[in-house]
Copies of this chain bind each other. A is one copy, B any other.
């Protein structure tokens, strides 16, 4: 997570929405050891800082050989990115390819409470 770099919000007085979509996320199923593939969408309203795009790409490489479930990886990405850039709001969506005739989507949200 130390790879996540940031830069100051260029319009800190305005609420606006930034969305980045990583089309080629891959991790490993902890039960079978087989690779899982997903499209990961990060959508957030920045507070004072924004996530730097290239560093974000390197952050996702850390999952390439990590064994982790769909639900856990979605919540871990949300926790990591919220901790790093402290946004007003953030939503992580992971959209997983078919396994045994089933596809899956996990959506997790964060909203900063007043005073946080």
Contact = CB atoms under 8 A, between A and B. Distances in A.
Interface residues of A, number: 49
A24 B10 contact: no
Instruction: Count this chain's copies in the assembly.
Output: 10
A9 B65 CA distance: 23
A23 B75 contact: no
Contacts of A64: 35
B35 A106 contact: no
Interface in A1-52: 7, 9-11, 14-24, 26, 31, 34-35, 37, 46, 50
Which 6 A/B pairs are nearest by Cβ-Cβ distance? A16-B108, A11-B75, A19-B105, A10-B72, A24-B101, A98-B98
Interface of A: 7, 9-11, 14-24, 26, 31, 34-35, 37, 46, 50, 53-54, 56-57, 61, 64-65, 69-72, 74-75, 97-110
